[in-house]
Structure 1
């Protein structure tokens, strides 16, 4: 279960500049009976700021970001499977622990799956035309974040240039673009895992479709994929493709 609660006061000022996420999922050995979903309260804002915040948190954002990406099909479902993974690393690497952000052990899985989930909802016809458009804008923003992540940490882009790049290429406001650039500068490699992870999952799905033909089942693919827990998608790809190859060899022997 998920409990919606206000973000603690000590975290409110710094949250836009950090990876202080809405969805909190402590590691399996300290797992609470209810998971906290922390929302930005309006109490400390002026009426104009409250209006701006509410307009930014529209139905599309609630559905795509808060329900699908974080609190529903995305992180919450992925962590449910991760808690039950055979691998100890797979159990903890994408939950609310230091290894999730500092080491990115399961970054391509955690963020890749959650972004893949919104794409999946579009493929399934779950989104309205405007929501589908918002999903495409989100993908463009992911691409911009990947570019900034690489250039910033190669010394090819300053914070000011990163902020300007976001305004020009992803439609962010000046304040949001600055906060994003600062966050990127503090966590190298964190921004690119969203796009990389999503594309790697789609590529794996299509490769398995090609190899398995009529035997491919989307639900089975998702269950097997998530069962590995929070480890890099590249490792899961190797394991799943090897399993398919082994099954084919066994069938030929028989």
Structure 2
């Protein structure tokens, strides 16, 4: 989830992509945050001395609502991803003036929220305030310290919100086409500002920007023209739409040409910006994005120890399975070689490149049935899950991902994106299919769909806190998906098959190695050969998977640590609740209570759960 969540945070511009992530209730009550109000109310800053607890509470509620309303005006692309379409006709222009606006927004709201006396707020609002403060600080840091808007050309891509407007039936087609047309007007200015902003780009980000913007052209191609032709727009409106569409395509193509020219120049001189961000920026980014109460280095060292423990478990299972699959052969003395041979044998059982997507779809109902049978979690089957081929403008990052609707449009489709393996060469496809064999495909579907990302993000949309939904924590979102893999197997999914458990440990080893890989690339500066040894020899990954992960690790920073960080925190919280509740602990109740807090960081959820226990 990867989430694009994300459900998916880079510069202020990219923030509108990443925080929508990974992309949250039908609630019997009303949300505390009334952010979809037609206009914001001016809120005077309150001080502790002049406010009662009630007025402080009201002040916090009003300031939160005002901040969110301004947020959508400032980040209309992010708003569209959250299902807030009131600003869908707007497109921010990523120039210096815009970035100054963002900085002013962050500093002004930080000053206003600093006047709130946290002691007057309940636990839920205190945690909301902590998320807001982290977000505002991070926003300023992104623009003034990290500054990826200067070196990451992949941040500049207009396509996704346009695709949502075109394909999400939140309003009649004619109305959406008019919105699409209004937004189109600013596309040339958008890419002009992008070119003027970029300085020396990093190589992986430059290559990705070319690839994804080439994919973006399809959003403005035949489908848009066909919908226009079948619409009820007047001839004058259609002509204007067509002109703007052609201007947008021209602007995108010119940006691609600009990037290709820069790539050729920099390739010759090898004068790219280093994609490695170094220890200081890494630790700062880790603190803002992961929020688990430890440093990146501490998590890295914890992951190194976990890798050795997983090798021990895998060696034991490989020894158990060896006589079954190699009856006439002595196992090698080297334990990594022994584990690798058993895994390689099991990996021979996989779908074809033509049937891979269909096999993914086929497993979803099986997972639903198991969760119901074991009563692990209440599932909302009214929320549509659509398995689709990853759109061209989103390719080049991961094999599978989830795009979920935001809290303003909860009924919209959730998309399970699957890379078009059928289009790959036979060698590349065979390597990926071995990696995502019949065992790992099941773990993948648990992670991305049931009861992983898809399920969690539906629960997040039911959270009474809009703040926790939109200012989501990636470690909680990814950690939940990783946690559910273990939870499902513990509940008996796969009938405790040693083959499935061995493959699961390989998958969990990947999560641990993600953390090691990310830290060693970004901080220690290891090269591709060392990274591939870590993934292929020590992590038993197929080469195609490892090559893809190397690329991903050069394109992002810190995000790869979110899986292990969140998983470890959730598992520790479950064990803590078991100890506190004893015989009263109920696994389903734990899951539903945990998910009820939206996309909050796990330490925040822990604080809220412990506070509720103390109240009881």
**Cα shift readout 1:143-196 (whole Å, capped 9, x = no counterpart):** 111112222222353344223322232112344323212312332211111111
Q: Which residue of 2 aligns with 1:141?
A: 510
Verify the 8 A CA contact 1:23 1:38 in the aligned structure 2.
yes
Match of 1:15 among 383, 386, 397: 397
From 385, 407, 410, the counterpart of 1:2: 385
Q: Could you say what secondary structure the match of 1:204 adopts?
A: helix
Aligned residue runs from structure 1 range 1-254, under 5 A: 1-12=384-395, 14-16=396-398, 21-31=400-410, 33-66=412-445, 68-93=446-471, 105-127=472-494, 128-247=497-616
Q: Which has the higher mean CA deviation after the structures are superposed, 188-197 or 34-43?
A: 34-43
Q: 1:192 to 1:40 in 2, by over 3 A?
A: same
Contact 1:7/1:38 (<8 A) preserved: yes
Aligned residues: 231
Contact 1:159 1:182 in 2 (8 A): no
Tell me the secondary structure at the aligned position of residue 415 of structure 2. strand
Structure showing greater radius of gyration is 2
Note closer, same or farther for the CA distance 1:166–1:43 as it changes in structure 2 (3 Å cut): closer
CA distance in 1 between counterparts of 2:528 and 2:394 reads 23
Contact 1:4 1:36 in 2 (8 A): yes
Change in Cα spacing, 1:42 to 1:147, as seen in structure 2 (3 Å) is closer
Could you list the runs of 5+ residues in structure 1 that have no partner in the other structure?
94-104, 248-254
Normalised TM-score (structure 2): 0.35
Q: CA deviation at 1:65?
A: 0.5
Q: CA deviation at 1:62?
A: 2.5
Quote the residue 1:96 is aligned against.
none
Structure 2 unmatched ranges of 5 or more:
1-383
Name the SS of the counterpart of 1:5 in structure 2: strand
**CA-to-aligned-CA distance 1:200-249 (integer Å, 9 cap, x gap):** 111111111111112211111111100001111111111112222332xx
Question: Structure 1's 112 and 178: CA in aligned 2 closer, same or farther, altered over 3 A?
Answer: same
Change (3 A) 1:45 1:143: closer
Distance (whole Å) between structure 1 residues aligned to residue 473 and residue 500 of structure 2: 28
Change (3 A) 1:121 1:43: closer
Which is bigger in relative contact order (C-alpha 8 A, separation at least 6)? Answer: 1
- Deviations along 1:116-169, one digit per CA (max 9) or x if unpaired, are 101001111112321111111111121111112222222353344223322232
Answer whether contact 2:452 2:484 (CA < 8 A) is retained: yes
| Deviation string, structure 1 residues 4-41 (Cα, Å, up to 9, x no partner) | 222223444x234xxx7432113222455322222222
Q: What residue is the counterpart of 2:111 in the other structure?
A: none
Query: Secondary structure at 1:28's aligned position in 2?
Result: coil
Q: Does structure 2 retain, via aligned residues, the 8 Å contact 1:83–1:92?
A: no
Deviations 1:36-60 (A, max 9, x none): 2222224423445544444444321
Give the RMSD, CA atoms, in angstroms: 2.2
Does the residue aligned with 1:191 lie in a helix, a strand or coil?
Answer: helix
- Asked if the contact 1:60/1:131 (under 8 Å) is kept, the reply is yes
Structure 1 pair 172–232 and aligned structure 2 pair: CA distance change class (3 A): same
Query: What SS is found at the alignment partner of 1:229?
Result: coil
Q: In 2, distance between residues paired with 1:65 and 1:43?
A: 18
SS of equivalent residue, structure 1 residue 170: coil
